[in-house]
Amino acid sequence: MSLYRTRTSPLSSRLAGVSILLLIFIAAAVHANTPISTLVSPNWLNAHLLDTDLLIIDTREATLYEQAHIPGAINIPVNETFAASSNTYRVAGLPQIKALFSRHGINHHDNIIVYDDGRFIDAARFFWVLEVYGHEHVSLMDGGIPQWLQAGLPIENEPRQRPATTYIPTISHQRLTTKMAMQIALSNSAVHIIDARTHEEYSGEKSIADRSGHIPGAVNIPWLVNMHEMSGLQKLLSDAELAEHYQAYQGQQVITYCNRGKQSALTYFTLRHLGYDVSVYDGAWLEWANDQSLPIE
């Protein structure tokens, strides 16, 4: 038997400890910076409920939220993101959004997951608002609360409230099109306009505004083509199926609009999910058609 034993110096032990901590830190950083898909499933979200960098926003009305919601979710009804003084359902201005997001404790580094009642248009609208105001990490949960419940996943009814923050929004102009920008786009062949309303509204058979028809040059891809019914629930189509509807616009600049801004937000989300360059005409058909000086078809 050897009379000598290998001894580890205190310095070596300290270095080993530092190396282990460094590896843990790197692993945590990699996890934190791993991009989340713009569309997540209920099962994925359930597996990540305890992630500290995750913020879940229920965009339904407060009464529905209080009946049952995803554990940990806070409630910000989507209608609170519309301009308080607007009759055209435009997005709220910077001061209103700053106060709203700060009151609800949103931070810029949050990975935000939004969901609604399963129709997609409220969650998609909130998704768009967050991107308009510069939030970089936003996803939508497929199927909304109906799919979560059908999967038998946990719920709670106690309201959640985060400590207030000071949220500083910055406007991302490439995500929002104004009336003036839409007028300019009409003479730009590189910009494509998608009318997300129904065919009856696009063709002028129906209208909620003073005039009927559509913005000149717009093509009609109704918002409902983005989803299908499965087991009694609405689900978004597969990426391949969605791409078929919009393949003509890959690599192109797209502006989408509807009546008030919710339906076109789903088209916006779909195109963002597919990696397209897209914005929403904020004033929508209600603003455009009621302005007698603007052209329509």
Q: Are residues 140 and 237 in the same domain?
A: no
Q: Are residues 139 and 237 in the same domain?
A: no
Confidence of residue 158 (pLDDT cuts 50, 70, 90): very high
Give the Cα separation of 20 and 22 in Å (integer): 5
Residue 257, phi-psi category: left (phi > 0), alpha (psi -120 to 50), beta (remainder) = beta
Q: Are residues 114 and 194 in the same domain?
A: no
Q: Is residue 137 part of a domain?
A: yes
Output phi, psi for 61, to 5 deg: -65, 155
Q: Are residues 120 and 182 in the same domain?
A: no
- Tens-place pLDDT, residues 85-128: 767 789 999 999 999 999 999 999 999 999 999 999 999 999 99
The reported pTM is 0.87
Q: What is the pLDDT of residue 86?
A: 67
Q: Which residue has the tokens 């989340």?
A: 36
Confidence of residue 6 (pLDDT cuts 50, 70, 90): very low
Mean pLDDT of the chain: 90
Q: Are residues 50 and 141 in the same domain?
A: yes
Q: What is the pLDDT of residue 85?
A: 78
Give the Cα separation of 239 and 2 in Å (integer): 67
- Of 150, 182, 207, which closes a domain? 150
Q: Is residue 23 part of a domain?
A: no
Q: Is residue 14 part of a domain?
A: no
Q: How far is CA 70 from CA 35, 73, 153, 287, in A?
A: 22, 6, 8, 36
- The pLDDT > 70 percentage for the chain reads 88
Q: Is residue 105 part of a domain?
A: yes
Q: Is residue 22 part of a domain?
A: no
Residue 108 lies in domain: 39-150
Q: Are residues 182 and 286 in the same domain?
A: yes
Q: Is residue 88 part of a domain?
A: yes
Q: Are residues 89 and 185 in the same domain?
A: no
Q: Are residues 282 and 181 in the same domain?
A: yes
Q: Is residue 276 part of a domain?
A: yes
Flag whether pLDDT at 240 surpasses 90: yes
Q: Are residues 217 and 251 in the same domain?
A: yes
Do 188 and 231 touch, CB atoms closer than 8 A? no
Q: Is residue 155 part of a domain?
A: no
Q: Are residues 209 and 140 in the same domain?
A: no
If one counts every other C-beta atom within 10 angstroms of the C-beta of residue 231, the result is 7
Q: How many domains does the chain have?
A: 2
Q: Are residues 144 and 177 in the same domain?
A: no
Q: In the sheet that 219-220 helps form, which strands lie side by side, from edge to edge?
A: 176-177, 277-281, 253-257, 191-195, 219-220
Query: Domain containing 78 — which CATH number?
Result: 3.40.250.10
Do 112 and 141 touch, CB atoms closer than 8 A? no
Give the Cα separation of 102 and 35 in Å (integer): 24
Q: Are residues 180 and 79 in the same domain?
A: no
- Of 150, 185, 213, which closes a domain? 150
